Amino acid sequence: MLRSDKIPDRSIKVILVDEAALKSMNEIAGRWPWPRAIWSDLLEFLSMGGARAALFDILFLERQDKANDGTLRTATRDFRNAYHSMMISREQADEGGRDAAALSGALPADFVKRFALTGVSDTSKAKPGIENNSFALPIAGLSEVSKGVAVVEFAPDSDNVLRRTKPLREYRGDYFPVLGLAPFVDSKTPVDIGDGAIKLDGHTLPVDANGNFIINMYALDKVDTYSISGVFSSLQKIRNGDVDEVLVHPDEFKDSIVFIGTSAVGTADLKAIPMGAGAPGVLLHAFLASNYLQDDFMNPPDRRLTYLSLLVGVFLTSWVVLFSRRFLVRMLLPLAMLAGYVGFALLSFRSNTQVEMVPFVFALFSTGFLSFAYLTFTEGAEKRRVSQLFTQYVSKDVLDEVLNNYEEYAKSSAGQKVEITVLFSDIRGFTTMSETEAPEKIVEMLNVHFTVMADIILKHNGTIDKYIGDAIMAFWGAPVRTDNHAEQAVLAGQEMLEGLKEVNRILKERGFAHEIAIGVGINTGEATIGNIGSEIKKNYTVVGDTVNLSSRLESITKEQKVPLIFSEYTYEKIKGKIACRLIGKVTVKGRGQAVDIYTTGSDGGTD
pLDDT digits (tens, 9 = 90+) for 564-580: 999 999 999 999 999 99
Judge contact between 472 and 554, C-beta under 8 A. Answer: no
Angle at 91 between CA 143 and CA 129, to 5 degrees: 70
Judge contact between 124 and 166, C-beta under 8 A. Answer: no
Residue 540 CA to residue 410 CA, distance in Å, equals 11
Q: pLDDT of 83-105, one tens digit each?
A: 999 999 887 765 555 555 555 67
Residue 422 CA to residue 552 CA, distance in Å, equals 12
pLDDT for the residue numbered 605:
45
Residue 159 CA to residue 157 CA, distance in Å, equals 5
The SS3 call for residue 335 is helix
Q: pLDDT of 505-552, one tens digit each?
A: 999 998 887 889 999 999 999 999 887 777 777 677 889 999 999 999
pTM over 0.75: no
pLDDT for the residue numbered 390:
54
Longest dimension (CA), the chain: 137
Residue 273 CA to residue 162 CA, distance in Å, equals 5
E-state strands within 256-395: 257-262, 270-273, 276-280
Judge contact between 522 and 570, C-beta under 8 A. Answer: yes
pLDDT for the residue numbered 226:
96
What is the rounded (10 degree) CA torsion for 419, 421, 422, 426? 170
pLDDT for the residue numbered 17:
95
Instruction: Tell me which amino acid residue 565 is.
Output: I
Judge contact between 169 and 129, C-beta under 8 A. Answer: yes
Please write down the HEC assignment for all residues of 504-534: HHHHHHCCCCCCCCEEEEEEEEEEEEEEEEC
The SS3 call for residue 552 is helix
E-state strands within 73-223: 82-89, 119-122, 134-136, 148-151, 164-165, 168-171, 174-177, 190-194, 197-200, 203-206, 213-214
Number of C-beta neighbours around residue 86 at 10 A: 25
Tell me which residues of the chain have a pLDDT lower than 70.
1-4, 93-104, 126-130, 379-415, 538, 603-607
CA nearest 255: which of 293, 220, 287? 293
Angle at 69 between CA 66 and CA 70, to 5 degrees: 75
